[in-house]
Amino acid sequence: MDILRQLKAFYWPERKLLVASIVFLMISTALGLVYPNLLSYLIEEVIRPEKFERVPTLALVVVGVITVKALNQFLHGFFGGRLGNKVAYRLRNSAYSKLQQLSFQYYDKAKTGDLMSRLTADLEGIRQFIGFGFAQILNMVLMVVFGGAMMLYLNWQLTLITLVTIPVLAFLALRFEKLIHPAFREMRQAFSNLTTAVQENITGVRTVKSFAREDHEVGKFSIRSDAYKDNQIGIAKIWAKYFPVMELVANLSAVILFIAGGLLVINDQLKLGDFVAFFSLIWYIINPMWQLGFHINNYTQFKASGERILALLNEHVHVKNKPDAIVLNKEQAKGHVQFEHVSFHYPDKSNAVTDINIEAPAGSVIGFLGPTGAGKSTIIQLLMRAYNVKKGSIKVDGVDIRDLDVHSLRSIIATVFQETFLFSASIRDNIAYGAGNVTQEQIEYAAKLAQAHGFIMESQEGYNTLVGERGMGLSGGQKQRIAIARALLINPRILILDDATSAVDMETEHEIQAGFKELMKGRTTFIIAHRISSLRHADEIIVLDDGHIVQRGKHADLIHEAGPYRDTYEIQYADYLLKQKKEKAAASNVVHMDQKRSSI
Ligand SMILES: Nc1ncnc2c1ncn2[C@@H]1O[C@H](COP(=O)(O)OP(=O)(O)OP(=O)(O)O)[C@@H](O)[C@H]1O
């Protein structure tokens, strides 16, 4: 019931449909009660007094009742169906919106397959129950109440004797529910584990094949598939154990009625017509009881699904706006960035960055260099408020980013990530993704600056070329260039390039950078790169190691300072330095010879 209460916001707006569905079901159930009475009438008023001329009228009444009952059943189905689908629609949209709000921290641990199964199988469980299951349980109660009342009216002693097995049935039904609920919860989990395995396998199919790990993957899937199968078998076992027993106990009522009612008729204490009516009415009690297991099953499935959907809907959003959050105006924002004593650690980990201080005036270029895991990406993720800073503060145009509207902050930042994600859409749509309404000229301009126009035009469909899922069909460098064009198109105040040119060759990188120079004008740019060539023009280069700033300054100064920057420079420019050394030596040789000659 708690789940129903928590889901109220989703079905309450559709209460008219809910009421209509229940009312039509009630009418249909009530009409069902006419049959036993017609039977009793047929025996007592038609057959016994041999007034057979009443048969056609009676038959017409039966046809009439059946028609009205069928109509009511149709209306119940119609409104129930609409109700279930509307509720599922609301839930699906809310769950999807929630997925958009959830922060990076949630996605660090989330499993795609699990989320998919919540949005599909679990929603289906809820749709079925809200649309039909709930009304059917209510109908079950109504059948018992209506049928029981009529039986009590006809003969209360016989009713009590007949229904003596009902407490046993109720006891069995409750035990059944106790066992089946956890089994269903496990089954849902097992199912989502299964979908996760399928999803991960399809996503990583290239890695699987290149390492020839197909058998391993099949094994991994088999374990999960086995768990799901065992779970289903477990459920079937509980079902097989309890269902026949419940059916047996339910049918015992009919046996008792047969004996007790028969004796009463023989002793003239009960009219034959009422005895026959009783036989029909008893199913008003037995049927719901014997279906109790099915309805409990339905309800427990709904409960398990509801719990999983509600868990998603109630998931904590780590990064959200303060009530009085300041909205940054994209046109007026300058892009002045300050990091003041910023320290941060991921959950259950030691510090990823410690005491970071950066002053990036609007329009400046800041470069980051450092070994893998040094904290470069963390710094820029903190700037876009992917995570909340735990210690210190980050300011944009003098305002702490925790006081800014998250959406407006991110709208002035464009990031080209290390791993490029392209949607399965046309190249044009991928480039225009962050920008909304843009012209073809603007798209082409951005693509030209990102050195993407050339290869795009080489493909048959040009900008209309469809890109496969995650950008399949394009090389790593081509994907990066599309991502760069996408970032440039939104005309950001702050541009972040996280190893954005790692997949392109040196020559293309050089050309892209020539384009960047033009574009960096007036924007604050953060460049993370492993190549000195990408950083050498930065206003300040920050060298990180293990989350700490170990060196900072301009390229020209850093190469004269002993430290990791010069070490990296010497490795990357070894050929160039060697050549320079040789040239120097040759030059000094020439000077030496000249001096010798002049002294002679
Ligand atoms: N989402 C995350 N959850 C937990 N720990 C993380 C997460 N992202 C990074 N880390 C950890 O934080 C530290 C800094 O990682 P970060 O990605 O910032 O390094 P990086 O310098 O960008 O490395 P690379 O050059 O390989 O991209 C590492 O120890 C890493 O394991």
**Nearest-angstrom CA–CA distance, 338 and 343:** 14
Atom of ligand 1 nearest to the CA of 377: 22
Same domain, 266 and 354: no
Q: Which residue puts its alpha carbon closest to atom 8 of ligand 1?
A: 378
Q: The CATH number of the domain where 141 resides is what?
A: 1.20.1560.10
pLDDT digit string, tens, across residues 450-506: 888 888 888 888 888 888 765 557 777 788 888 888 888 888 899 998 876 666 666
Are residue 309 and residue 392 in the same domain, yes or no?
A: no
Ligand 1 centroid vs 368 CA: distance in angstroms?
A: 14
Q: H or E segment at 240?
A: helix 214-266
Tell me the best of 108, 318, 344, 349 to mutate to test the pocket of ligand 1, counting ligand atoms within 8 Å of each CB and taking the most. 349
In DSSP notation, 507-559 reads HHHHHHHHHHHHHHTTSEEEEE-S-HHHHTT-SEEEEEETTEEEEEE-HHHHT
Per-residue pLDDT, 462: 87
Q: Are residues 459 and 516 in the same domain?
A: yes
Phi, psi of 357 (to 5 degrees): -125, 120
**What is the whole-number distance in angstroms between the Cα of residue 395 and the centre of ligand 1?**
22
Tell me which residue of 433, 432, 417, 377 sits closest to 503, measured CA to CA.
417
Same domain, 465 and 425: yes
Q: Are 253 and 165 in contact (CB under 8 A)?
A: yes
Return the pLDDT at 278: 87
Ligand 1 centroid–CA 216 distance in Å is 28
Amino acid, single-letter form, for residue 586 = A
Answer whether 372 contacts ligand 1 (Cβ < 6 A).
yes
User: For ligand 1, what atom is nearest to the CA of residue 418?
Assistant: 27
Ligand 1 pocket: which of 372, 535, 544 to mutate (most atoms <8 Å of CB)? 372
Question: How many domains does the chain contain in total?
Answer: 2
Hey, which residues does 192 pair with through a beta bridge?
Answer: none
Largest CA distance in the chain: 156
Based on the fold, state whether residues 94 and 192 are members of the same structural domain: yes
Cβ of 156 less than 6 Å from ligand 1: no
Q: What is the CA radius of gyration of the chain?
A: 38
Q: Is residue 587 part of a domain?
A: no
DSSP 8-state symbol, 213: -
**Cβ of 500 less than 6 Å from ligand 1:** no
What pLDDT score was predicted for residue 206? 81
The protein residue with its alpha carbon nearest to ligand 1, atom 25, reads: 372
74 lines ligand 1 (CB under 6 A): no
pLDDT value, residue 114: 81
Q: Give the DSSP H/E element, type plus range, for residue 495.
A: strand 494-498
pLDDT for the residue numbered 337: 93
- Parallel/antiparallel/unpaired status of strands 540-545 and 548-553: antiparallel
Instruction: State which residues form the domain around 27.
Output: 2-313
Q: Domain check: are 404 and 464 in the same one?
A: yes
Rounded to the nearest angstrom, the distance between the alpha carbon of 379 and the centre of ligand 1 is: 10
Domain check: are 151 and 237 in the same one? yes
Task: Report how far apart, in Å, the C-alpha atoms of 387 and of each of 9, 203, 317, 339, 581 are.
Answer: 30, 26, 11, 14, 48
Say what the pLDDT of residue 542 is.
93
Q: Print the SS3 string covering 385-432.
A: CCCCCCEEEEEECCEEHHHECHHHHHHCEEEECCCCCCCCCEHHHHHC
**Does residue 375's CB lie within 6 angstroms of at least one atom of ligand 1?**
yes
Q: Which numbered atom of ligand 1 lies nearest the CA of 374?
A: 21
Do 87 and 191 lie in a common domain? yes
What pLDDT score was predicted for residue 226?
Answer: 92
- Chain center to CA of 372: 31
If you count them, how many residues does the chain have? 600
User: What is the CA(370)–ligand 1 centre distance, in A?
Assistant: 12
474 CB near ligand 1 (under 6 Å): no
Residue 443 lies in a domain: yes
C-beta of 370 in contact with ligand 1 (< 6 A): yes
Say whether both 529 and 459 belong to one domain.
yes
Determine the pLDDT at residue 353: 92
Is the same domain home to 408 and 465? yes
Domain assignment present for residue 60? The answer is yes
For position 474, which CATH number holds? 3.40.50.300
Residue 85 located in a structural domain: yes
Q: What is the pTM of this model?
A: 0.74
In a domain, 326, yes or no: no
Residue 600 inside a domain? The answer is no
Same domain, residue pair 300 and 442: no
Question: What pLDDT shows up at residue 590?
Answer: 62
Domain-located, residue 580: no
Same domain, yes or no, for 161 and 264?
yes
d(CA 574, ligand 1 centre) in Å = 29
The predicted structure's pLDDT at residue 357: 93
In a domain, 594, yes or no: no
Which residues of the chain are under the pLDDT cut of 70?
Answer: 1, 290, 293, 469-472, 500-519, 575-577, 589-600
